[in-house]
C-alpha cells in the first residue's frame, strides 16, 4: 500500500514537471523552468551532503562547475567531431567528472565533519576558483568557454534549437536524478549517513567507519552536482569561472537552507523560491539580494528547519484535526505581518529610488516628500504592534492544539 502511494506521488511529480510548459509557454517561463531544473538537482545534491550527511560545505560549486566545464568541452568535441554521441548524455559527462573530483577530494576532506570539513571545502573552493582564472586554456579565463548544443546526432529528429526541447530533456534528467537521490536515502548507506551525522561515535561502535560513510555520501553528492553542471552547460551553452566560485556555493547553501534541510522536498522548495526571486524579483527591484539576505537570516533564526519544516510542523495538528483552531490566530497575526513586510519593503525602496515618483502596489508615492515616508512608516509600526499583540494568542492556540494530542496520545497508549 505504501509503495503504491509513493509511486503515485512520483508519477504526479513527473506529470507536474511535464505539464508545466502547457500552462506557461512564454520564452521567459521556459527559461525560468530550465533554471529551476538545474537548481533543483544542485540543491538536492547539496542537501545530500548537509542534510543527510551533516557535512557543511562552502565549496560545493566546485563539482557543479567542473562538471559544467567538462560538459561544455564535450559539446565542443562533438562540434569538431572528435567524439560522436547525442547531447542527451552530456549530463552524464558532467556527473562523471563531478564524481571523479569528489572521489579525489573526498579522500582527504572527509576525515572529519563539522568545522574542519567546512574549512577544507572553503579552501578547495577558493583554490579551484582562483586556479580557474590562471589556467586560461581550459577554463577560458573571465570570459569562460562556450559551445553549441545543436551539433551531434539528432535525437528522434530533435536538434535542440529551442529551449523547450531542452526543458523536456532536463525534466527527464531531473526526474532520474531526484528518483536516484531519493532511493539513495533509502539504502543502508543513506541510512548510515544519517547515523554518522547524528552520532559518529556510536556509528563507529556498531562497526561502521564514519569516514567511509561520509566518503560515499560525499561522492554521491559530487556526482549529482556534476549532473546539475552538465544540465547548466546544455541550457546556457557556456560556463564561466563564476559558476564554480564561492558565490555559487553560497547560493546553493541558501536555497537548501531556506527550503528546509533534512526534508527531501525542502531543497526543491528552496530551489524554486530562489529561482523565482532571482528571475522575477530582480526585474522589479535591484535590491532583491538584500531581501534574500534578510529572508535567509530570518529563516535561520526563526525557522531552523526551513519552509518544509514549517509545513511539517503542522503534521500532528493536521492528523488530529485541530488545524481549524489555528486558522483564526494565524490570520490575526499573519495579516498584520504581511502588512508590516510590505510596508517595510516600501520604505526601503522609497529611500533607495532615484526617480521623483515611486509606484508600489498600484499607488504612487512622492520620493522626496517626508509626508509619504512618514505615512508608510506609521503603517509599518502599527502593523508591528498588531503582530506583537496577537502573538501570545497564537502561541496559546498552538499549545492548545498540541495539548489535546498529548492527552489523547497518552490515553491510547
Partner 1 sequence: MLEVFIFATLNGLVTGLLLFMLASGLTLIFSMMGVLNFAHASFYMLGAYFAYSISLYFGFWSGLIFAPIIVGVLGALVERYGLRRVHQQGHVAELVFTFGLAFLIEEAVQFFWGADTKNYQSPDLLDFPLFTLFGQEFPAYRGFMIGISVAIFIGLYYVLTKSRIGIIIQAAITHPHTVSNLGHNVPLIFMGVFGVGSALAGVAGVIAGPVLTTFPGMAVVLGSIVFVIVVIGGLGSLAGAFIASILIGLLQSYAIASNLGMPDLLNLLGLEFGRDHPLTDLWTLTLPQIAPILPFLLLVLVLIFRPTGLMGKREQ
Subset of residues 299 to 338 that bind partner 1, contact rule: CB under 8 A: 300-301, 304
The verdict on 158 binding partner 1 (CB under 8 A) reads no
In angstroms, what is the minimal distance from the CB of 291 to partner 1?
Answer: 9
The verdict on 211 binding partner 1 (CB under 8 A) reads no
**SS3 at position 83:** coil
Report whether 270 contacts 258 (CB < 8 A).
yes
156: phi > 0 → left, psi -120 to 50 → alpha, else beta; which?
left
Alpha carbon distance 109, 154 (integer Å): 41
In angstroms, what is the minimal distance from the CB of 337 to partner 1?
Answer: 19
HEC profile for 95-151?
Answer: HHHHHHHHHHHHHHHCCCCHHHHHHHHHHHHHHHHHHHHHCHHHHCCCCCEECCCCC
Which range, of 13-21, 71-79, 126-134, 392-400, touches partner 1 by CB under 8 A? 126-134
* Smaller CB separation from partner 1, 176 or 289: 289
DSSP label at 405?
H
Q: Which residue from 21, 76, 126, 281 is in contact with partner 1, where contact means CB under 8 A?
A: 126
Q: Which residue from 19, 22, 137, 413 is in contact with partner 1, where contact means CB under 8 A?
A: 137
The verdict on 124 binding partner 1 (CB under 8 A) reads yes
CA angle 147, 105, 129 (to 5 degrees): 45
The verdict on 130 binding partner 1 (CB under 8 A) reads yes
Subset of residues 237 to 256 that bind partner 1, contact rule: CB under 8 A: 246, 250, 253-254
The verdict on 153 binding partner 1 (CB under 8 A) reads no
* Smaller CB separation from partner 1, 98 or 306: 306
Question: Which helix H or strand E contains 359, and what residues bound it?
Answer: strand 357-360
The verdict on 154 binding partner 1 (CB under 8 A) reads no
Q: Which residue from 120, 166, 171, 216 is in contact with partner 1, where contact means CB under 8 A?
A: 120
Alpha carbon distance 267, 177 (integer Å): 13
The verdict on 290 binding partner 1 (CB under 8 A) reads yes
Alpha carbon distance 197, 200 (integer Å): 6
Q: Which residues contact 271 (CB under 8 A, 6 or more apart)?
A: 36, 39, 40, 42, 43, 44, 255, 259
* Smaller CB separation from partner 1, 121 or 178: 121
* CB-based contacts of 378-381 (< 8 A; 24+ apart in sequence): 379/339, 379/343, 380/339, 380/340, 380/343, 380/344, 380/347
In angstroms, what is the minimal distance from the CB of 179 to partner 1?
Answer: 28
The verdict on 409 binding partner 1 (CB under 8 A) reads no
**SS3 at position 238:** strand
Alpha carbon distance 58, 123 (integer Å): 9
Which range, of 60-68, 133-141, 209-217, 322-330, touches partner 1 by CB under 8 A? 133-141
Chain residues binding partner 1 by CB under 8 A are: 50, 54, 56, 58, 108, 111-112, 114-116, 118-120, 122-124, 126-127, 130-131, 134-138, 246, 250, 253-254, 257, 287, 289-290, 292-294, 296-297, 300-301, 304, 348, 352
Amino acid at each position: 500500500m505504501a509503495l503504491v502511494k509513493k509511486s503515485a506521488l512520483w508519477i504526479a511529480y513527473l506529470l507536474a514537471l511535464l505539464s508545466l510548459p502547457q500552462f506557461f509557454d512564454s520564452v521567459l517561463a521556459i527559461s525560468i523552468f530550465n533554471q529551476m531544473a538545474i537548481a533543483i538537482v544542485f540543491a538536492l545534491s547539496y542537501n545530500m551532503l548537509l542534510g543527510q550527511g551533516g557535512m557543511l560545505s562552502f565549496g560545493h560549486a566546485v563539482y557543479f562547475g567542473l562538471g559544467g566545464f567538462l560538459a561544455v568541452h564535450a559539446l565542443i568535441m562533438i562540434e569538431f567531431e572528435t567524439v560522436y554521441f547525442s547531447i542527451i548524455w552530456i549530463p552524464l559527462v558532467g556527473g562523471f567528472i563531478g564524481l571523479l573530483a569528489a572521489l579525489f577530494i573526498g579522500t582527504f576532506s572527509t576525515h572529519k565533519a563539522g568545522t574542519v570539513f567546512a574549512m577544507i571545502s572553503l579552501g578547495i573552493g577558493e583554490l579551484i576558483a582562483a586556479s580557474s582564472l590562471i589556467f586560461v586554456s581550459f577554463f577560458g579565463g573571465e570570459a569562460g568557454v562556450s559551445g553549441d548544443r545543436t551539433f551531434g546526432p539528432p535525437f528522434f529528429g530533435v536538434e535542440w534549437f529551442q529551449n523547450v526541447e531542452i526543458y523536456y530533456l532536463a525534466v527527464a534528467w531531473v526526474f532520474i536524478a531526484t528518483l536516484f537521490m531519493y532511493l539513495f536515502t533509502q539504502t543502508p548507506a543513506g541510512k548510515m549517513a544519517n547515523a554518522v551525522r547524528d552520532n559518529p561515535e556510536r556509528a563507529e561502535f556498531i562497526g561502521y567507519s564514519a569516514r567511509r560513510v561520509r566518503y560515499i555520501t560525499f561522492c554521491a553528492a559530487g556526482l549529482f552536482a556534476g549532473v546539475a553542471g552538465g544540465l547548466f552547460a546544455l541550457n546556457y551553452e557556456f560556463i564561466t569561472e563564476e559558476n564554480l566560485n564561492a558565490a555559487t556555493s553560497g547560493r546553493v547553501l541558501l536555497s537548501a537552507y531556506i527550503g528546509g534541510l533534512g526534508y527531501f522536498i525542502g531543497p526543491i522548495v528552496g530551489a524554486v523560491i530562489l529561482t523565482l526571486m532571482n528571475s522575477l524579483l530582480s526585474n522589479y527591484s535591484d535590491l532583491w539580494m538584500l531581501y534574500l539576505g534578510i529572508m535567509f537570516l530570518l529563516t535561520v533564526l526563526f525557522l531552523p528547519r526551513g519552509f518544509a519544516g514549517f509545513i511539517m510542523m503542522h503534521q500532528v495538528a493536521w492528523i488530529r484535526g485541530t488545524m481549524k483552531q489555528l486558522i483564526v490566530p494565524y490570520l490575526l497575526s499573519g495579516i498584520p505581518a504581511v502588512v508590516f513586510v510590505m510596508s517595510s519593503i516600501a520604505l526601503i525602496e522609497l529611500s533607495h529610488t532615484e526617480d521623483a515618483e515611486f509606484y508600489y502596489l498600484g499607488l504612487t508615492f512622492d520620493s522626496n516628500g517626508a509626508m509619504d515616508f512618514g505615512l508608510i512608516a506609521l503603517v509599518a509600526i502599527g502593523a508591528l504592534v498588531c503582530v506583537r499583540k496577537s502573538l501570545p494568542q497564537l502561541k496559546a492556540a498552538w499549545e492548545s492544539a498540541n495539548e489535546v494530542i498529548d492527552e489523547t496520545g497518552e490515553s491510547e497508549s
